[in-house]
Structure formats: C-alpha cells, structure tokens
Amino acid sequence: MSIWDKLKAEFVDIIEWTDDSRNTMIWRFPRYQHEIKYGAQLTVRESQVAVFVNEGQIADVFQPGRYTLETQNMPILTTLKGWKYGFDSPFKAEVYFVNTRNFVDQKWGTKNPIMLRDQEFGPIRLRAFGTFALKVDDAGKFIKEIAGTDGHFTTEEVAEQLRNLILTRFTDAIGESKLPALDLAANYDELSRIITDKIGTEFSDYGLELTKFLVENISLPPEVEQALDKRSSMGILGNLHAYTQFQAANAMENAANNPGGAGSDMMGLGVGLSMAQQMAQTLNNAQQAQAPNLNQAPPPIPNANVQYFVAVNGQQQGPFNLQAIDQMVKQGTLTRDMLVWKQGMPNWTKAGDVGDLTGIFGATPPPLPQ
C-alpha cells in the first residue's frame, strides 16, 4: 500500500457496510493494519451486527444503531487493551459485519434415493427435495464455529454442511413415520415441523437459526410412477363396454360435424367397434372360463385303495393299486386293450373302458399304427 493510501485510511472515520449481494453472511471492514481512530463513527444498519475482534479474541458486539467509538461504549475492548484513563490515538481491531437477515430459498434434496419399506408396494426408493431459510442468531458463536477469519463469508460455504445435516435427519424422520408412499403428500406440513424440531438445536450449535423448512416434493422412481399411471388409467376407464360406447358416440359426432371425412371416420369407427367387440368377447370368455359352473356336478373322487387284477398272456397278475397301474401304463406294460378286473365287476374288461383308468390313459399317447 502507498503512503497516500495509508494517509487516506487514517482520515477515514466512518465504519459501515452496505450489502448489495444476496448471499454474504460476513464481511470484514478493510482498514490499513486494522487501525481505527479514536472517536470514529460506527453505523450498524438493521439486519446487521458489528463484531470487534482484538488479537483473535471477540470483544464488543454492536447492535443496529450509530456509535461514537470511545472507551465508554467499548467496555470489553477497553478492558482487553488496559485503557484505564481513556485514549486519543488509533487502536487496532478487526471489525466484522454479520448479516442477520433471513437467507431464503436455500435448496436441499436427496443425492441418492432413500430405501424404505412401504406397506403397499414393499421395498421402494424415494427422492425428495425442498427449500429452507436460515439466519445468524449468535454472531460471535457463528464467527468462532464456522466463519473464523474469513473476510467474506457466503452462504455457499456452509450450505453443503447444512444440507447433509438436513438429509440425515429427514431420512430418519420419514423412516420412523412409516407413512405409506401414497399418503406422504398429505403430511408435508407434519414432516416439515418434525424436521424443524429435530435440527433446530444443531443449527443453534453453529450460531444459526432454522427459520423455515419446506418439503416441496417426495417422488417415486420413474418406472414406478409409470406403473401407477397405468393403474390409475384402468381405474378411470372403469366399465370397458361403457367406455367403448362413449368412444363410438364421439366418433359419430365427429363424423356428423365433418361430412367430407365421414368415410374415414366411419371406417375408423367400424374398426374400433370390431376391436372393442373382440376385446369384450375375450374378456367374457376368460371370465366364463374362470367362473365355476354351479349346475355341473363334479366327477367322483377315485378310491386310491382300489385293487385291480391284470390278465397278462392268459395269466392273472395282481392285485395292483392305482399308483402301480399308473406306473405300468407309463412303462408300456399295461395297454388299453389288456383285460383288468376288480371286485364288483361282473366280467373282465378292457382297461381303456374302465372309468377309474380313463384319466391314466388320457395322459398317455395311443400306440403307433402298424
């Protein structure tokens, strides 16, 4: 610094700060070798405080107002300097102006999806984002804990640490709430209050105050949202037959309003009706196939303990239960034309004509023709 700059700094006796930025939290008043004249005028505007630091130790803190710097209004600095009877020469001190207004529209959001267990969808991933507002509540503590000797401290320098703190507490709060994903939108205010209470004390440890916390959106992954959209569309359509009639009525109205294109519209209407009829028929067939016929009696349950004798080369063999008969059919040692008999049958009968055995032979292909 030149001699002229030094002399000019010595004659400056107004200490003030006008902030043109929107993100400056601390600004250090520039003085040559930090010398301040006795009787200098200090102006502290609303939403500011001025902090005097002497040899690394915080001394006096001035609230908004206009002050003449004398020993009477600087009791702590006077004690540190040992001025018992006043002084009239420049003294050294650093002056930090701290912005105490609200810093709004601070963004927060999840870097990675939050893994949760939902009551309806099972394991899901959620993303969330929102805004918060903060201000300096204790200027001295904020300088000691966060800013230090930084002569120009902005919100960007502390925002990342605050966002990490918010995300940790938010993840814990939303996990403990056990709210279904579809009910989260109805509880944004409640979640905001819970987070504010959780992290208010931790902000206070830095000399800050969390004045507002807002949850703007909690969303599912895109593929899950697409599946929900399809499910919602099906619910909106409701009765497929009624929806088809509605579409047909719209097509007929459009054809009446557009005589020149009536042919193509009616052709499209015909194709649409045909497709709708096919879809309705398919749905009806599927429903009928799934619906039980209450008028049809179920077949009798075969007795697993029944015993059959088998005629093999004129020799009587057995008796065999149904499980053994099934194995013989699969091995080919028993065919439809071989004779079988069980107690209660009047005569020997071909195996393929016995009711208990038809199901066994039905799963076996017939012999190849000679």
Mean pLDDT of 46-63: 91
State the first-to-last Cα distance of the chain, in angstroms, to the nearest integer. 118
**Segment among 32-46, 120-134, 355-369 with least mean pLDDT:** 355-369
Confidence label for 4 from pLDDT (cuts 50, 70 and 90) = very low
> Does 9 score more than 70 pLDDT?
no
Task: Please state, for a pLDDT cut of 90, what percent of the chain lies above it.
Answer: 24
Residue-wise pLDDT for 260-315, tens only, equals 554 555 555 555 555 556 655 665 565 555 555 555 555 555 565 778 888 888 88
> Does 202 score more than 70 pLDDT?
yes
Residue 261 pLDDT: 52
- Burial group, residue 254, by CB count within 10 angstroms (0-12, 13-18, 19+): middle
From 220, 245, 279, give the residue that closes a domain: 220
**R_g (Cα) of the chain, nearest Å:** 45
Most confident among 31-40, 196-205, 266-275, 306-315 (mean pLDDT): 196-205
Task: Please check whether residues 108 and 214 belong to one and the same domain.
Answer: yes
Distance of alpha carbon 49 from its chain centroid, rounded?
40
Residue 27 pLDDT: 94
Task: Please check whether residues 116 and 210 belong to one and the same domain.
Answer: yes
- Is this model's pTM higher than 0.85 or not? no
- Per-position DSSP letters for 294-321, written without gaps between them: TTSPPPPPP-TT--EEEEETTEEEEEE-
- Identify any residues that bridge with 272 across adjacent strands, giving them in sequence order: none
Q: 174-180 long-range CB contacts below 8 Å, 24 or more apart?
A: 174/114, 174/116, 174/126, 174/128, 174/218, 175/114, 175/116, 178/119, 180/118, 180/119, 180/120
> Residue 284 falls within a domain, yes or no?
no
> Residue 192 falls within a domain, yes or no?
yes
Tally of domains within the chain: 3
Interior angle at CA 69, CA 66 and CA 71, nearest 5: 135
Residue 61 pLDDT: 93
Where in the sequence is the domain holding 349, given as residue range(s)?
308-362
Q: Is the peptide bond before 319 cis (omega within 30 degrees of 0)?
A: yes
> Residue 322 falls within a domain, yes or no?
yes
> Residue 302 falls within a domain, yes or no?
no
**Segment among 11-15, 96-100, 113-117, 237-241 with least mean pLDDT:** 237-241
Task: Please check whether residues 69 and 108 belong to one and the same domain.
Answer: no
Task: Please check whether residues 108 and 213 belong to one and the same domain.
Answer: yes
Cβ count near 339 (within 10 Å): 14
Handedness of CA 111, 133, 216, 22 (dihedral sign): negative
Mean pLDDT of 94-104: 94
Task: Please check whether residues 170 and 75 belong to one and the same domain.
Answer: no
Residue 8 pLDDT: 46
Most confident among 131-140, 176-185, 242-251, 276-285 (mean pLDDT): 131-140
Task: Please check whether residues 212 and 119 belong to one and the same domain.
Answer: yes
Residue 7 pLDDT: 43
- Find the CATH number of the domain harbouring 156: 3.30.479.30
Residue 361 to residue 357: CA distance in whole angstroms: 6
Residue 181 to residue 125: CA distance in whole angstroms: 10
Task: Please check whether residues 163 and 144 belong to one and the same domain.
Answer: yes
Residue 226 backbone phi and psi in degrees, to 5: -65, -40
Task: Please check whether residues 126 and 206 belong to one and the same domain.
Answer: yes
Confidence label for 240 from pLDDT (cuts 50, 70 and 90) = low
Mean pLDDT of 240-265: 63
Task: Please check whether residues 30 and 114 belong to one and the same domain.
Answer: no
Extended beta strands in 69-173, E state: 91-92, 94-99, 103-109, 114-118, 122-136, 152-154
Residue 220 to residue 246: CA distance in whole angstroms: 33
> Residue 282 falls within a domain, yes or no?
no
> Residue 298 falls within a domain, yes or no?
no
From 46, 70, 99, give the residue that closes a domain: 99
Task: Please check whether residues 147 and 60 belong to one and the same domain.
Answer: no
Q: What is the pairing mode between strands 152-154 and 208-219?
A: unpaired
> Residue 68 falls within a domain, yes or no?
yes
Task: Please check whether residues 55 and 152 belong to one and the same domain.
Answer: no
Residue 221 pLDDT: 77
Residue 102 pLDDT: 94
> Does 107 score more than 90 pLDDT?
yes
From 220, 235, 253, give the residue that closes a domain: 220
Instruction: Please indicate whether residue 34 or residue 65 has the higher confidence score (pLDDT).
Output: 65
Residue-wise pLDDT for 315-332, tens only, equals 888 888 888 888 888 888
Task: Please check whether residues 62 and 109 belong to one and the same domain.
Answer: no
Residue 61 backbone phi and psi in degrees, to 5: -120, 125
Confidence label for 96 from pLDDT (cuts 50, 70 and 90) = very high
Confidence label for 25 from pLDDT (cuts 50, 70 and 90) = very high
User: Is residue 33 a contact partner of residue 113, using CB atoms and an 8 Å limit?
Assistant: no
Residue 345 to residue 89: CA distance in whole angstroms: 133
- Arithmetic mean of pLDDT over the chain: 79
Residue 244 pLDDT: 67
- Burial group, residue 132, by CB count within 10 angstroms (0-12, 13-18, 19+): buried
Residue 310 pLDDT: 87
Residue 337 backbone phi and psi in degrees, to 5: -85, -5
> Residue 11 falls within a domain, yes or no?
yes
User: Is residue 31 a contact partner of residue 17, using CB atoms and an 8 Å limit?
Assistant: no
Residue-wise pLDDT for 135-178, tens only, equals 999 999 999 988 888 889 999 999 999 999 999 998 888 888 88
User: Is residue 211 a contact partner of residue 133, using CB atoms and an 8 Å limit?
Assistant: yes
